[in-house]
């Protein structure tokens, strides 16, 4: 499937739908071929192929959209560009599989998480040992395959040796940052009082840079962007990436499970140190602080505790504060774009994607 050269027919949404379909197509083909070649006919590897295949069908495809938008700032994306962009979705699948194990998340995108699926299989087969440990190990191994295949898909995308050589250092850095960011995130979650500075630094390393800025720069650099363009996209990407992460934090607390595919208050249950929670702690008055401390100490949270928690976070003004930060960062992103020469279409796409990041409800 080709991505329309022009977005004039039905606007940016049409471009994004085309891009998503084209990327999904390439990923399906790539993962299907790898599964056929590498996984074999044993029952557990057939299950693995099934889990991998279903996993890549879901998701928002944000990273590939930014990679293609970055490429499209320079020239029209080629089929090789679509494959290179798709490789970032596989990298993201790796990160999600591991995160879900580490956070012990029961659901992802409205379905049981991979480790839960593998654990159920273990139970159904009547195997010895702990089903949940088996499930977690199998999900980590599925993640390994995505990490390896992501890089293989990028390398075999057909973007050309010179383009690859330009971006691989950035790609390696992004992958290292992802692991390091996740470690720092776990430590922040486990600290009773991380600072906003700590939490924002980690959010940048772990999610922001690898969700928006990294893919955008990678796409632009593959297409041969000038240093000036890369600089502007980098600034835009850092700002929009932070807006994305703040929105993620807000949705993790106040999102609608139907839309997010995650249980209400999941981040509270997991005691995640998000920017919104840190803001709430920083803004709380004495009484609110006492009440937060009480909720923090509860070993488990029932539905009414979650409601109390959320009402308290709102009462501190942290929710509105975070909303203002989102708007501010989106404006920063727009400012960064104003300093560089871009086609109207490329600019429209970036404005649209920034809006999607900051103002989505899923």
Among 23-31, 126-134, 280-288, 334-342, the segment contacting its own copies (CB under 8 A): 126-134
Give min distance, CB of 136 to its own copies, in A. 8
Q: Is 80 in the site for its own copies (CB under 8 A)?
A: no
Q: Write out the two tokens for 332.
A: 């920063």
Q: Write out the two tokens for 287.
A: 């009484």
Residues between 257 and 276 with contacts to its own copies, criterion CB under 8 A? 271
Q: Is 326 in the site for its own copies (CB under 8 A)?
A: no
CA 155 to CA 149: how far, in whole Å?
10
CA 72 to CA 3: how far, in whole Å?
10
Q: For its own copies, which residue of 46, 192, 290, 294 counts as binding (CB under 8 A)?
A: 192
**Total number of residues binding its own copies (CB under 8 A)?**
50
Give min distance, CB of 209 to its own copies, in A. 13
Give min distance, CB of 5 to its own copies, in A. 32
Give min distance, CB of 37 to its own copies, in A. 8
CA 273 to CA 250: how far, in whole Å?
12
Residues between 30 and 69 with contacts to its own copies, criterion CB under 8 A? 34, 38-40, 42, 44-45, 48
Residue length of the chain: 362
Q: For its own copies, which residue of 144, 307, 327, 362 counts as binding (CB under 8 A)?
A: 144
Q: For its own copies, which residue of 21, 80, 186, 196 counts as binding (CB under 8 A)?
A: 186
Q: Is 196 in the site for its own copies (CB under 8 A)?
A: no
Among 5-13, 145-153, 302-310, 345-353, the segment contacting its own copies (CB under 8 A): 145-153
Which residue, 315, 207, 193, is CA-closest to 252?
207
67 within 8 A of 88, measured Cβ to Cβ: yes
DSSP string, 228-254: HHHHHHHHHHHHHHHHHHHHHHHHHHH
217-255 b/e (C-beta count within 10 Å ≥ 16 → b): bbbbbbbebeeebbebbbbbbbbbbbbbbbbbbbbbbbb
CA 171 to CA 162: how far, in whole Å?
14
Residues between 86 and 125 with contacts to its own copies, criterion CB under 8 A? 98, 101-102, 122
Helices (H), the chain: 11-38, 43-55, 62-72, 79-102, 114-124, 131-155, 161-190, 196-203, 214-222, 227-254, 257-260, 266-269, 275-283, 286-297, 303-315, 318-338, 344-359
Q: Is 190 in the site for its own copies (CB under 8 A)?
A: yes
Among 2-10, 184-192, 236-244, 344-352, the segment contacting its own copies (CB under 8 A): 184-192
Specify the residue, 9 or 42, whose C-beta has the smaller distance to its own copies.
42
Q: Is 161 in the site for its own copies (CB under 8 A)?
A: yes
Helix axes 318-338, 275-283, angle to 10 degrees: 120
Specify the residue, 102 or 264, whose C-beta has the smaller distance to its own copies.
102
Specify the residue, 2 or 180, whose C-beta has the smaller distance to its own copies.
180
248 within 8 A of 207, measured Cβ to Cβ: yes
Among 128-136, 228-236, 323-331, 338-346, the segment contacting its own copies (CB under 8 A): 128-136
List interacting residues with its own copies (CB under 8 A).
34, 38-40, 42, 44-45, 48, 98, 101-102, 122, 127-129, 133-134, 137-138, 140-142, 144-145, 147-149, 151-152, 155, 161, 168, 172-173, 175-180, 182-184, 186-187, 189-192, 271
């Amino acid at each position: 499937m080709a991505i329309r050269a022009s977005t004039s027919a039905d606007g940016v949404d049409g471009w994004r739908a085309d891009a998503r379909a084209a990327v999904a197509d390439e990923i399906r083909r790539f993962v299907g071929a790898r599964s056929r070649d590498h996984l074999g006919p044993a029952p557990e590897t057939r299950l693995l192929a099934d889990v991998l295949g279903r996993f890549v069908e879901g998701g928002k495809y944000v990273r590939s959209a930014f990679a293609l938008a970055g490429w499209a700032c320079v020239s029209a994306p080629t089929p090789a560009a679509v494959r290179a962009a798709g490789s970032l979705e596989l990298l993201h699948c790796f990160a999600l599989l591991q995160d879900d194990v580490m956070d012990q998340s029961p659901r992802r995108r409205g379905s049981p998480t991979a480790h839960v699926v593998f654990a159920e299989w273990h139970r159904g087969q009547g195997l010895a040992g702990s089903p949940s440990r088996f499930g977690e190990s199998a999900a980590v191994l599925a993640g390994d395959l995505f990490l390896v295949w992501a890089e293989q898909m990028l390398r075999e995308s057909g973007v050309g040796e010179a383009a690859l050589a330009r971006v691989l250092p950035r790609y390696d850095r992004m992958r290292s940052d992802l692991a390091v960011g996740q470690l720092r995130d776990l430590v922040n979650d486990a600290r009773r009082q991380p600072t906003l500075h700590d939490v924002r630094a980690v959010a940048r390393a772990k999610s922001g840079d690898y969700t928006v800025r990294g893919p955008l720069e990678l796409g632009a650099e593959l297409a041969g962007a000038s240093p000036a363009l890369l600089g502007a996209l980098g600034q835009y990407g850092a700002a929009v990436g932070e807006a994305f992460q703040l929105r993620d934090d807000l949705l993790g607390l106040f999102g609608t499970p139907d839309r997010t595919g995650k249980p209400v208050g999941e981040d509270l249950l997991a005691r995640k140190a998000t920017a919104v929670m840190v803001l709430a702690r920083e803004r709380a008055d004495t009484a609110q602080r006492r009440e937060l401390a009480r909720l923090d100490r509860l070993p488990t949270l029932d539905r009414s505790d979650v409601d109390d928690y959320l009402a308290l976070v709102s009462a501190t003004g942290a929710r509105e504060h975070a909303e203002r930060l989102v708007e501010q960062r989106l404006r920063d992103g727009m400012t960064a774009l104003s300093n560089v020469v871009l086609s109207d279409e490329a600019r429209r796409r970036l404005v649209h994607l920034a809006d999607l990041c900051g103002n989505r409800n899923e």
